[in-house]
Structure 1
């Protein structure tokens, strides 16, 4: 079918829209990018079907593709849907699973892999069955709005993961155009900024109540109770403690070296062990049956992620969380101790300062932190019954 365009015109046309007839158009962008588009009406609504780049698809082929599409329309078929069936455009769910599989080698632990999967399955469920090339800004907003103000941190992670999946789809040729989950210059005009949303805090026990709480823990003959006390005394994260191996312990130097792959900041962290922390390890060493310090029921596996949480529930101290004890430590260090803030932050394995400052800060101040952790352990040591303070719960900040 002869049209209005010529091969020469296709190559030299400046920015604009050019009709070849039969609703086939050459679209030339401001940067000179050229693409073919077929316009048609489907069930009363205007549609556009991309037929490829004019650089790769010559005029004669574009006309043939347009003719094939028009024949499908005449038979009552949507050419866009038919192409998806033949080209194998994946759904968002299929693409998300593929991306997670590709990225999993770089994840720090199994928990991170599980979270990547579960957050998208839970909060982006409305997207999973949609072909990746049909997902729009409205679709993304429909997934994010229900949790954007109530679960701010989770919502922010979900948005980033949706963006990554759609970027991967574009890289594989399944999508064109801008990413509808992009934040800067797009969703930041449609949703409140995350910094202005109330962040979720981990409920924490007031540090004054810790001696009485630890006294209660020591009455419970369970590995989970020892793990929880050790977690409190080292101000470590639960994943760092539960994954701890005997090979990471140096009893002579009283240190525990956590490898980078188990640290949130992705860098090795040395932990000075207080006398009580060492005593806990010596107690477990006598019962050693696994490479893991806090061994679980399954052979050569650690305690489950829920073990310390369940121990907390059994102590009936309200909705206190394991992570919240890090806040208890920080509050004690700031309100009671005289240790410098940077020593406390280093003990919490927080990254301090910008990259330039980090380059100069080569020492991890182990000796100073050892004094800090001994002072913390001494504070947490159970007092006499007469001086014990009833346990109550407060929110961390």
Structure 2
């Protein structure tokens, strides 16, 4: 028996008021609720179950439009598709495609919630805002290999570490975009089987290597550093004498300093390995702390090395920029390598003591616990010896000069 369609008329639809479902045929109904709300619905069977699909309010959708929508649904059923799922997919396709910048910002806002390392956050933002700047205004579904190469080629050999980070983070953004249905799964920033055939061998990239001041040049550098009237100079000398990472120093607060025991206790959330670390402070390191505080009254949560505002920590780029102004081709982090080379080549301190001073993991959990309790005195001697060497060309009485520097940084 042929299916009857078009049972209703526009005039009848306007006149109907009785609650219930009023059939137009072919699965299309005008549904009127007890409170008078009127809407179009399409009923169909799929997988042995009766399904209901809303087609919109009768106030907004005309009878003719409702019939067109019902016909589309019957077409999907005839070809074996679920009309509800087909509509969901169409809505996803109809969504505006975000630009790379919008997708990058959204991803960063989500994943940075669990980060504690400010340097990591800075590197992500720089890769997505500076290195990948040419991609930011492009819709993510239009980005191809040629666009990624335009980002990477200028820095691939000159700045391999920066280029590698940028490639990885571009890949992450495009993967996330694919997962949200904004582009295909074919990622133009993928390395293996893709960019590795266009940019050279991956092993040419250098990871974890920072240019360092040679051992024999370190005392002269520290002497030159003492003449600088800036809070960054205080922070950099403290970084050198403690063999600490930049992020550990700029995040340091006064509550972490134990003057009685001459210790700096760095909390685990600011350490690369996520474990608390105790740093013995040499006499010179304590002098730097005196210079940094100056005549201020500080709170435990106050930053030791502050920026233009005493309540805000020094910028994580301030020490690197100072070395650049001093025309030194090295990085603050490179002084950890200088310290490691000096301690290994010029002293008789055991390797595990040196590695512990650098907050490197040595041995299993039991051995690490033993080292924390037994090696502190040895590490104090190591850091005192390093301070004597690093400052061997400096005149005595450096603290008044540093107090002057501290005052100058607040002007």
Pairwise TM-score range, normalised by the shorter structure = 0.5 to 0.7
TM-score by length of 2: 0.65
Counterpart check, 1:332 vs 2:329: no
Q: Give yes or no for the alignment of 1:293 onto 2:304.
A: yes
Q: Is the 8 A contact 1:149 1:198 kept in 2?
A: no
What is the aligned partner in structure 1 of residue 368 from structure 2? 361
**Residue 246 (structure 1) aligned to one of 246, 254, 257:** 254
Deviation digits for residues 104-141 of structure 1 (CA, Å, limit 9, x no counterpart) = 21233444333312212333234333332343344434
Report matched runs for 1:58-69 at 5 Å: 60=79
C-alpha displacement of 1:222: 4.2
Q: Name the SS of the counterpart of 1:257 in structure 2.
A: strand
| Segment drifting more, 287-296 vs 268-277 | 287-296
Correspondence 1:129 to 2:137: yes
1:94: which partner in 2? 102
- Contact (CA 8 Å) 1:289, 1:295: kept in 2 or not? no
C-alpha spacing 1:152/1:244, structure 2 compared with 1 (3 Å): same
Once residues 358 and 139 of structure 1 are traced to their aligned partners in structure 2, the CA distance between those partners, rounded to angstroms, is 47
Secondary structure of 2:183's match?
A: coil
How big is each residue's C-alpha offset from its partner over 1:239-296, in whole Å with a ceiling of 9 and x where there is no partner?
2212210011111222112223322333322212122212322344452344111233
Within the candidate set 307, 313, 329, 1:302 is matched to 313
Cα–Cα, structure 1 residues 351 and 59, in superposed 2: closer, same or farther, change >3 Å?
A: farther
Moved more, 192-201 or 246-255: 192-201
Distance 2:394 2:314 in 1: 32
CA gap of 1:182–1:204, structure 2 versus 1, over 3 A, is same
TM-score normalized by structure 1? 0.67
SS across alignment from 1:266? coil
Residues 165-184 of structure 1 aligned to structure 2 (within 5 Å) = 165-184=173-192
Partner of 1:44: none
Mapping for residues 368-387 of structure 1, pairs under 5 Å: 368-383=378-393
Distance 1:122 1:59 in 2: 52
Gaps of 5+ in 1: 1-56, 65-79, 386-397
1:146 is the counterpart of 2:157 = no
Tell whether the 8 Å contact from 1:294 to 1:302 is kept in structure 2 after alignment: yes
Cα 1:141–1:240 shift into 2, 3 Å: same
CA pair 318-146 structure 1, distance change in 2 beyond 3 A: closer
- Select which of 270, 280, 286 maps to 2:278: 270
Q: Distance in 2 between matches of 1:319 and 1:350?
A: 26
Q: Secondary structure at the match of 2:261?
A: coil
Distance in structure 1 (CA, Å) of the matches to 2:247 and 2:256? 14
Q: How many residues align?
A: 310
Cα 1:380–1:351 shift into 2, 3 Å: same
Counterpart-to-counterpart distance in 1, 2:261 and 2:365: 25
- Equivalent-residue separation in structure 1 for 2:242 and 2:216 (angstroms): 17
Q: 1:145 to 1:300 in 2, by over 3 A?
A: same
SS of 1:361's equivalent in the other structure is helix
Pair 148,317 (structure 1): closer, same or farther in 2 beyond 3 Å: closer
CA 279–143 in structure 1, closer or farther in 2 if over 3 Å, else same = closer
| CA root-mean-square deviation | 3.4
Q: 1:232 to 1:140 in 2, by over 3 A?
A: same
Aligned mate of 2:354, from 344, 362, 380: 344
2:278 alignment partner, SS class: strand
Equivalent position to 1:160, from 150, 165, 168 = 168
Tell me which moved more, 90-99 or 321-330: 321-330
- Which one has the largest radius of gyration? 2
CA distance in 1, matches of 2:78, 2:158: 52
Q: Secondary structure at the match of 2:212?
A: strand
Partner deviation per Cα, 1:365-384 (whole Å, 9 max, x = no partner): 43332221111112123348
| Partner SS for 1:297 | coil
Unpaired segments ≥5 residues, structure 2: 1-75, 84-89, 396-411
Cα deviation for residue 93 of structure 1 reads: 1.8
